[in-house]
Amino acid sequence: MKKWGTLVIALLMVTSLLAACGQNKNNDGSAQGAGSNAGNSGKKVITLGTSADFAPYEFHIKNDQGQDEIVGFDIEIAKEIAKDLGAELQIKDLQFDSLMNELNSGRIDFAISGLSPTADRQKEVDMSKIYFTATQAVVTRAGEEGSYKTLDTLVGKKIGVQKGSIQEGIARTIEDAKITSLAKTQDIMMQLKTGRIDVAIIEGPVAEAYVSNIDGLTIAEAQPEAEDDGYIVAVKKGNKELLDKVNATLTRLMEDGSIDKFIVEASELAEK
């Protein structure tokens, strides 16, 4: 069932509100460093930064109590990391292109957000091992997919991508592309639906979640390639203690099959 039409419009409004709230929080410096602050439970708090516009990895749902909740594959991983640290997890929904800054200024302890290990990011933050690999996809309006069978067909087209993402880099390699870079992926899908862009480039699983929930969008055959398809967890440069623990949790989750289970569960949740 296509429920996301209205949901996306509602999300557009909520996103701007959340962005405003997020900024306030940052300005008053209320973010907490791991280990140094006690949360409501008296436990130490570890703060995750993510851009929760990226189903099935991180996205908002209304939970059974009717409350807004951030869920997804990456969130399950974050919960496991917090559990292994004996810490309470606090989640901050931020703009994707602000995550590296938020890490380095200490406003978040770690970032999990479908983050690809690019060389630029490698200079700014420290990265965990790769915990997942995704491919790229081209989303367009249903009925127009025949025009985008190869990457060459994107030449000169209006292409929507997320600001600061590797897809922005991919779009820049396409000749004469007219690029629209937006902070939140749902805004890109709205631009596509309303005809302001021709295609969007985004990771395959996220593309699938959007097209199954928004009427009138589909995935084209053209297959962009990225240099860095893997996903990593990012921590502040030099935070070896946390990085070691993150890697230990990832190893555990990969070895005991949890990672595979989380992606299936998150994809099912995203389809609902």
Interface with ligand ARG by CB under 6 A: which range of 1-9, 47-55, 82-90, 138-146? 47-55
Measured between alpha carbons, how far is 114 from 111 in angstroms, rounded to an integer? Answer: 9
User: Is residue 51 a contact residue for ligand ARG (CB under 6 A)?
Assistant: yes
- What number of CA atoms fall less than 13 Å from residue 56's CA on the CB side? 23
**Closest approach of ligand ARG to the CB of residue 166, in Å:** 4
Q: Which of residues 107-146 bind ligand ARG (CB under 6 A)?
A: 113-116
Cβ neighbours of 26 (radius 10 Å): 18
Q: Which two tokens stand for residue 44?
A: 């130490």
Rounded to 5°, angle at Cα 263 from 78 and 143: 125
Q: Could you say whether residue 58 binds ligand ARG (CB under 6 A)?
A: yes
| Parallel, antiparallel or unpaired: strands 230-236 and 125-127 | antiparallel
| Interface characters, 160-199, with ligand ARG (x: CB under 6 A) | --x--xx------------------x--------------
Report the residue number, 44 or 49, with the smaller CB distance to ligand ARG.
49
Separation CA 172–CA 201 (nearest Å): 11
Task: Give the shortest CB-132-to-ligand ARG separation in angstroms.
Answer: 10
Write out the H or E segment, with its range, that includes residue 114: strand 110-115
Q: How far is the CB of 206 from ligand ARG (least distance, A)?
A: 8
Judge whether 70 and 50 are in contact, CB under 8 Å: yes
Positions 15 through 44 that interact with ligand ARG (CB under 6 A): none
Q: Contacting ligand ARG (CB under 6 A), which of 4, 54, 73, 132?
A: 54
Interface residues with ligand ARG (CB under 6 A) are: 51, 53-54, 58, 96, 113-116, 162, 165-166, 185, 203
